[in-house]
Chains A and B, each alone.
Chain A
Amino acid sequence: MCDMATTRGELGDKLSSLSLFADLSAAELESIAHIVDERRFGDGERILRQGLTGSGFYIILEGEAIIRIDGKEYGKLGRGDFFGEISVLLGDPPVADIVAAQGLHCAIIPGPELEPFMIGHPQVLFRMLKSEARKLRMATSWRT
């Protein structure tokens, strides 16, 4: 198995391939690569915890994340998906557990840094908003 550590340049390349960062220049991507943290999770490790405060914003670079509420699985997230933003923006604890699978590797923005990050990168904010709109549409379509 190879060493899967990434340099900042490699992280910038990984971010550039995600739709969330599709509108950014190379210089902006490099700058973001220096701002975000990175972390690999053991399979089965919890990342967000239902009911526990103080979490962050996570963008999946590799692997999968399982959404679990009260122990029941509700879906999976994959490369390019992100999670944790609702809890950070509203200041409420997460309503679901997010659990690592398939060698999950994430870029992370700590909760207190998310708001300045979004204000400083409106193109990313716009992409996030579109994604949230799609989620909302899906949620409302289930009701009808």
Chain B
Amino acid sequence: MVVGSGPGGLQLSYSLTHLGVPHAVISADPAPGGMFRRWPFFQRLLSWTKPFAPFERGTRFYERYDWNSLIPDDDQHRAIQPRLMDGTSYFPSRIEMEHNIATFARETGIRVRYGCRWTGTSRDGEGFRLRTTAGDYRARVVVFAFGLAEPWKPEIPGIEHVPHYADTRAPETYAGKRVFIIGKEVSAFELANGLLPWARQIVLASPRPTQLSVVTNSLVGVRARYVQPYEDHILGGGVVIMNASIDEVSRSGNLFRVKTTRSDGGGSLMFEADDVIATTGFQPPLGDLPELGVVSSGRERIPSQTPLFESISVRHVYFAGTATRGAAGLKKNGIPSSSGAVHGHRYNARILARHIARTYFGIDPARPTLKRDDVLDYLLSELSRAPELWHQKSYLARSLLMEGARGIVDDGIVPLQLFVDGEGPDGVAVAVEANPKAEIYPAVYVRKNNVVSEHLLPTNPLLDFETAEHRAQLTAVLAPIL
């Protein structure tokens, strides 16, 4: 059973189907697209699709430059997103993205029971019984691909007066208003950016200092697309950015008063505003999963998962889509996975499909063998081009295993954590990694006699990892197992 028809649910269904795994997909929505049927509020994504890229459109390597298309196993249905873009931006509009998802579902024949809402879950023998608005389903394995769809607001006195990001009005209705935005993450800056031509004053406040992706050198922080309000603030325009906790919101007629305490010890500040908006995030609609025993972590209540996207506390309950952020991986140098976005979790879904096929249905996905003389070229090419490794740095890896009589087996793209923490035949996993200095470099993990060693290779100004230096270093690193 798969619950959800956003990119996560559809990608998983596609991959399960192509492995021959029987399954059903249900969705409360009337059509595919998930959150992209409604958001982002200002109707344009922050994930790019580059129509003209170093690799030919419609190839696997092109996926590195197309963050938004779903990933088929054949070339025919690759790169749907750039086909649908009008050329005005390399960030697709929301409607172009929704169209992209729907086109993939239609052209690849994904079957979904739309208008069918999951309402409850109980154990049924070794499996589960899912109650839905269209009757009960029984399944051995359940995958929830429900996204982060429930608006969440913190417990602040008076917060009930404050609309959530999800309830933001049309931008022109904020013309000439003083707008107070609770929050300083991406959605706060998206609203502030969109309201720049309308609002008289914009205040953004939350305890945590603003982080910018171009400063953290990662996807952590406000993305470049929405940095304009920050520049407006530092140059003394109409935007105020505050590090402060929100103590109370009160409303008197059309006027809001927001009481804040500065995080730097600077005391209390009271703001008057015509509008207040809480951009405090979303949570997954967990329903009764906590009662089933599914544990979550943090403010966002994302279920805690194993490296293969299974709940750490309830066996046979898995997750796909944005919720796979709960399988955090190694998070080396503090850099998180990209599983919160399509370009990351589309690969997680493919891995999960292989795992389900192998574990529950006895279907062994193809694992080709490799000649010894081809190993170096293959790994260096993957390190330079593989979209899975580039989108999921320090998280997904290409793994080769030395399987005795079979020889050198390509074990496919695997979670890096699974390789470094798991036991098995001697082998190698290669990943692309990054550090806070904005260096991107290859990493090689060699497992011999169940002891894993890490080898970080040098970066390269053109991100070319097929140089003589890389070849020589990889040769030396692989010597103990080849």
Stretch at the interface among A13-21, A73-81, A105-113, A123-131: A105-113
- Further pairs besides A5-B295, A49-B452, A112-B436: 18, Cβ < 8 Å: A3-B294, A3-B301, A4-B297, A5-B296, A6-B298, A7-B154, A7-B299, A27-B263, A27-B265, A31-B245, A51-B452, A51-B453, A51-B454, A54-B330, A55-B332, A110-B333, A112-B333, A113-B334
Q: From residue A57, how far is it (CB to closest CB) to chain B in Å?
A: 10
- Whether B304 contacts A54 by the Cβ 8 Å rule is no
The answer, among B290, B435, B453, for a CB contact under 8 Å with A1, is: B290
| Closest chain A residue, CB of each to CB of B334 | A110
Contact of A39 among B154, B265, B297, B301 (CB under 8 A): B297
- Distance in angstroms from B431 CB to nearest chain A CB is 11
Whether the Cβ atoms of B453 and A30 lie closer than 8 Å is no
- Could you tell me if B334 and A1 are in contact, using CB atoms closer than 8 angstroms? no
Cβ of A95 < 8 Å from any Cβ of B?
no
Q: In whole Å, how far is B99's beta carbon from the nearest beta carbon of chain A?
A: 35
Contacting residues, chain B, for A93 (C-beta < 8 A):
454
CB contact list, B402-453 vs A, under 8 A: 420-421, 433, 435-436, 452-453
In the bound assembly, the distance between CA atoms of A13 and B465 in angstroms comes to 48
Question: B207: which of A30, A105, A113 is its contact (CB, 8 Å)?
Answer: A30
A111 touching B333 by the CB < 8 A rule?
A: yes
* A45 CB, min distance to chain B CBs, angstroms: 7
Interface residues of A, Cβ cutoff 8 Å to B = 1-9, 11, 27, 30-31, 33-35, 37-42, 45-46, 49, 51-56, 93, 103, 105, 110-113
The CA-CA distance from A59 to B421 in the complex, in Å, is: 22
The secondary structure that dominates the B interface is: loop
13 interchain pairs (CB within 8 A)?
Answer: A1-B291, A3-B290, A7-B154, A31-B208, A38-B297, A39-B304, A41-B304, A51-B454, A52-B454, A53-B332, A53-B454, A54-B394, A105-B297
- Please, how many angstroms separate the alpha-carbon atoms of A116 and B261 in the complex? 22
- Judged by a CB distance under 8 angstroms, whether B97 is at the interface is no
Q: Would you call A4 and B154 a contact (CB within 8 A)?
A: no
Is B86 in the interface zone, CB < 8 Å from A? no
- Flag if B334 contacts A5 (CB, 8 Å): no
B interface, CB within 8 angstroms of A: 154-155, 206-208, 243, 245, 261, 263, 265, 286, 290-291, 293-301, 304, 306, 312-313, 328, 330-335, 394, 420-421, 433, 435-436, 452-454, 456
Residue of A31, A39, A110 near B263 (CB, 8 A) is A31
Q: Give the residue of B207, B300, B433, B454 whose beta carbon is less than 8 angstroms from that of A31.
A: B207
Min C-beta distance of A51 to chain B, whole Å: 6
- Contact B155 A9, beta carbon cutoff 8 Å: yes
Measured in the bound complex, the distance between the Cα atoms of B45 and A138 in whole Å is: 55
Are B298 and A5 interface neighbours, CB within 8 A? yes
Residues of B within 8 A of A27 (CB): 245, 261, 263, 265
Q: How far is B419's CA from A140's CA once the two chains are assembled, in angstroms?
A: 37
Task: Please measure, in the bound complex, the distance between the C-alpha atom of A41 and the C-alpha atom of B435, giving whole angstroms.
Answer: 24
A119 to B101, CA, bound (A): 47
Q: Which residues of B contact A2 (CB under 8 A)?
A: 290
- Cα A46 to Cα B423 in complex, Å, equals 13
